[in-house]
Structure 1
Amino acid sequence: MIRIEDTDRVRVLTLDRPDALNAFNEALYDATCEALADAAADPAVAVVVITGAGRAFSAGTDLIEMAQRNSGAFTAGKHGFPGMVDQLAAFPKPLFLAVNGLGLGIGATMLGFADLVFMSTEARIKCPFTSLGVAPEAASSVTFPALLGRQQAAWVLLSSEWIGAAECVDMGLAFKAVAPDDLLDETLRHAKVLASKSIASLVESKKVLLAGLGDRLAQARAREDEAFRLLLGGPANREALTAFAERRDPDFAAVDARAAAEG
């Protein structure tokens, strides 16, 4: 589910559901949450790197489980999505992402919590919220505008379009685009530079870097959670999941027309 390796005070967490494109089911949310908590508390770990196994970084929330949630046949994990986002938001040490392939949903929005993002030149991300009939998540309504500016963040969060590695670097969402075979080595080279420093200094430096956000992350998550609650299982979301299962494009115009006629 998740592989953990340590090297020179750097802990590498590898999301390891390659057959599911490292999509987050409840078990992977729980495992990642606990791995981050353990790394935060471990005095031998100075920096954490998250990457993915296989051809994907993460395909986001497992859509099979999302459909189960809508049908009422869903069993929540111990921590789930909220617990993992809590850990990402509060993680006190430098957090690097090595985005090795496609990243969708939380596989894209978690970039907003990283201190440095390295992307394979073949990697790309998508925030598919509007194509699923839902709303942004994981405080991306604050982190993305802070990193990208409002208009670029609006395009990334509202369009459900793919964004390539070079464009992510140009926008400010990633630090470097690296050849696929060099991605992890280049990420670790930078991580080890920081890992050679005092952990206390790294923690306090990160704290002051993020202090300007104040409680905006928590406020953003509360607003996003409410928007998600209103939309999850609604007509557009049901149409999106049905279309996904039927391997067709969703017809949101028809959904909107029915809503207008009924309303």
Structure 2
Amino acid sequence: MVLRISDEKRVRTITLDRPDALNAFNEELYDAAADALLAAAADDSVAVVLLTGAGRAFSAGTDLLEMHARVSDPAFVPGKHGFVGFLDALADFGKPLVLAINGLGLGIGATMVGFADLVFMSTKARLKCPFTSLGVAPEAASSLLFPQLIGRQNAAWMLLSAEWISAEQALETGLAWRLCEPDDLLAEAHRHAEVLAARPISSLLAVKRTMTAPHRDAVREARERENACFAELMGGPANLEALTAFAEGREPDFTALPPGW
């Protein structure tokens, strides 16, 4: 199993459970996480979802070894939902979504913050959007949601630089709502989730719907723009160099790429 699920006081805790891979999303985990969100959305006994990670990472993003296979192996078989289906489940999730970011979050481990309603972070956690270091484009409507959430220049640095953002920076910019000591993180996030879960589910749904409805079309359009750019760049010279370097355990060298790349 790549997920653990537990229920307490109308809060469903979903724990990403590939600790040996730093909870990187392979097709199996994307499918399982999408199914878990869809099931929670349909379950009248669940008021709030709390999402966290097992081990020392929240999520290291998309599994790069599997990404390399996707672009290089004609026999690669995608999952039922995959990355796009997981994003659909996040974007359509109508109940409060609380993140407890227990460790490093890369790629989707960072960009899913844009879909969260409350974000708690360990003081030891950090976030990174590695898109330019992988030779690809942003994802998960982060090109829209991050400027809205943390301002244009903070978002520009995070999306363009592929540099780490500390927990303190996340709090200062608005990516995180609360910082907690590592041993206190899950309990504190769950305590706040329980406050929400004690309210009428119908009212929670109405509040979230009215907050997200004005942005739904813009989120869809941002994802379409990002997907088009991602498809154009994935498998290109910069992306192949990045993935090959990762597989070979070295830093990528983009200096020898063709002009324009």
**What CA deviation, in whole Å up to 9, does each residue of 1:213-237 have, x standing for no partner?**
1400100000000000000000000
> What is the one-letter code of the residue matched to 1:112?
G
2:96 touches 2:204 (CA, 8 Å); kept in 1? Answer: yes
Alpha-carbon shift at residue 189 of structure 1 (Å): 0.6
Structure 1: gaps spanning 5 or more residues: none
Is 2:11 the partner of 1:10? yes
Aligned to 1:221: 223
SS of the residue corresponding to residue 156 of structure 2 reads helix
Aligned to 2:253: 251
2:14 touches 2:50 (CA, 8 Å); kept in 1? Answer: yes
Q: What does residue range 44-55 of structure 1 map to in structure 2 within 5 Å? A: 44-55=45-56
Q: Percent identity?
A: 64
Alpha-carbon shift at residue 166 of structure 1 (Å): 1.0
Is 2:81 the partner of 1:79? yes
Is 2:44 the partner of 1:43? yes
Cα distance in 2 for partners of 1:181, 1:135 equals 35
Instruction: Report the TM-score, using the length of structure 1 for normalisation.
Output: 0.97
> What is the one-letter code of the residue matched to 2:103?
G
SS of the residue corresponding to residue 133 of structure 2 reads helix
RMSD between aligned residues: 1.1
Aligned to 2:232: 230
Alpha-carbon shift at residue 147 of structure 1 (Å): 0.1
Alpha-carbon shift at residue 41 of structure 1 (Å): 0.5
> What is the one-letter code of the residue matched to 2:59?
S
Give the stretch that moved more between structures: 241-250 or 222-231: 241-250
Shift >4 Å, 4+ stretches:
none
SS of the residue corresponding to residue 79 of structure 2 reads coil
Alpha-carbon shift at residue 251 of structure 1 (Å): 1.4
Is 2:162 the partner of 1:160? yes
2:65 touches 2:247 (CA, 8 Å); kept in 1? Answer: no
Give the stretch that moved more between structures: 32-41 or 65-74: 65-74
SS of the residue corresponding to residue 204 of structure 1 reads helix
Aligned to 2:27: 26
Give the paired residue count.
259
Give the stretch that moved more between structures: 242-251 or 195-204: 242-251
Instruction: Report the TM-score, using the length of structure 2 for normalisation.
Output: 0.97
Cα distance in 1 for partners of 2:245, 2:31 equals 29
Structure 2: gaps spanning 5 or more residues: none
Give the stretch that moved more between structures: 69-78 or 187-196: 69-78
Give the stretch that moved more between structures: 210-219 or 45-54: 210-219
> What is the one-letter code of the residue matched to 2:40?
A
SS of the residue corresponding to residue 259 of structure 1 reads coil
